[in-house]
Amino acid sequence: MRLETEGIAIMGGFDDNPGVARPDSPVVRITGVAIMGGLGTDVRPRGWNGEDDE
* pLDDT at residue 54 in the model: 57
* pLDDT at residue 13 in the model: 84
Residue 45 lies in a domain: no
Residue 47 lies in a domain: no
Residue 54 lies in a domain: no
DSSP conformation class of 50: S
Residue 49 lies in a domain: no
The type of residue at 7 is: G
d(C-alpha 41, C-alpha 13), whole Å: 12
Residue 28 lies in a domain: yes
* Domain tally, the chain: 1
For the entire predicted model, the pTM comes to 0.59
Note the pLDDT tens digit of each residue in 2-47.
888 888 889 988 777 767 788 888 988 888 898 998 888 877 777 7
Residue 20 lies in a domain: yes
d(C-alpha 47, C-alpha 2), whole Å: 16
Residue 48 lies in a domain: no
Give the pairing type, strands 13-15 and 38-40.
parallel
Provide the residue range defining the domain that includes 11.
Answer: 2-40
